Structure 1
Amino acid sequence: MTWDEWEQAKARAQQGTAMQLNEVAPERGGSGDGDMVVHDNVLGALGNAAHTLRQHFSTASDHARQNTFDASIQLFNDGLDMGSALTELHDAWNTKAGTLKEACAHISNHLDYSRAQHAKDAVKIATDMRTVGGDELSVSRIHDYYK
């Protein structure tokens, strides 16, 4: 590939593509603001799914752990190199399984935290939006601030 061909390929690859962070493309007929919306019940369902996955995987991944370790020790004691290889496999599996369980727990905990923090923020916003006299601002009065 010549330099010109490389530059042409790069230009073609860049046409019509743009990176968008923290934004989704507007839907047809939508508001066009590109904000991402996630509902509390969806976050709750995802958090529960992550927790359930962690619980099920924790049980399933440990199913043959002891038998695998016992077999590796027996093979090693019988003078077979396969025993040490099986021990390495056993240890690698436990490390990877632990990483996956931690990731699931992190996702579940983060979503629970996000939901709780959002609820606190909603209460704070509601209590902060008051008139000078301490009365709640009406929806029409709030709307005036954002015109």
Structure 2
Amino acid sequence: MPWDEWEGLKAEAAQGRSTRMQLNQRPADQGGGGGPSEDLKSDKKVWVRAGEGVTGLKADIGKALTALENGQAGLGDTAGCQSAAAQAELYDSWKKYVGDVSSRCGELGGLLEKSGHDLAKSDQAVLTDLDQLKVKYADTEAVGGRAPKE
């Protein structure tokens, strides 16, 4: 993926818009051969920059977490007030979730950077590492009720 496309995706994500990613691919081999293309090249710098970009998201997430904490500071004692108790419960839930997002960015960014530095892992090994991140950071059940069935 070209760097400018990556920057565009990050900008759209920051604006809260959903986007679909299109991966460029080589046309199917008409001759029936299944070997890798001699034209296939991987740029270590791109992998490292992508990893640095994902790891860099932690700073913005940290700012959001601080703002969330500052907004919560004046709540005080929640005894006797159901809405305040619910708000405190919601805050605790989001604090954990946003903290997990920050950790996930750090781990994913590190994985991308490491993959770029050495490019020694097989595709399967990188996929295994990504699958482990999926399991580690699997979303939890919704607090306060059940999510609607689709």
TM-score (norm 1): 0.51
Instruction: State the match for 2:103 in structure 1.
Output: 102
**Cα distance in 2 for residues equivalent to 1:32 and 1:57:** 44
Amino acid at match of 2:109: S
Q: How much identity, in percent, do the aligned residues show?
A: 17
Q: d(CA) in 2 for partners of 1:26 and 1:32?
A: 12
CA displacement at 1:89 relative to structure 2:
0.7
CA distance in 1, matches of 2:41, 2:88: 47
RMSD: 3.1
Q: Which secondary structure state, in structure 1, belongs to the residue aligned with residue 102 of structure 2?
A: helix
Q: Which residue is 1:68 aligned to?
A: 72
Structure 1 stretches (4+) deviating beyond 3 angstroms? Answer: 28-38
Measured at CA, do residues 37 and 92 of structure 1 come closer, stay the same or move farther in structure 2, by a change above 3 Å?
Answer: farther
Aligned twin of 2:6? none
2:51 to 43, 47, 51: 47
Distance, in Å, in 2 between the alignment partners of 1:42 and 1:64 is: 33
Give the 3-state SS of the residue equivalent to 1:70 in structure 2: coil
**Larger relative contact order (Cα-Cα within 8 Å, sequence gap ≥ 6):** 2
In terms of fraction of residues, the more helix-rich structure is: 1
| Partner of residue 91, structure 2 | 90
**Post-superposition shift, 1:108?**
1.3
Pair 33,61 (structure 1): closer, same or farther in 2 beyond 3 Å = farther
Contact 2:52 2:113 in 1 (8 A): no
Structure 2 unaligned blocks of 5 or more: 1-23, 121-150
Q: CA deviation at 1:34?
A: 5.8
Does the Cα contact within 8 Å between 2:47 and 2:112 map onto a contact in 1?
A: yes
Distance 1:93 1:99, change over 3 A: same
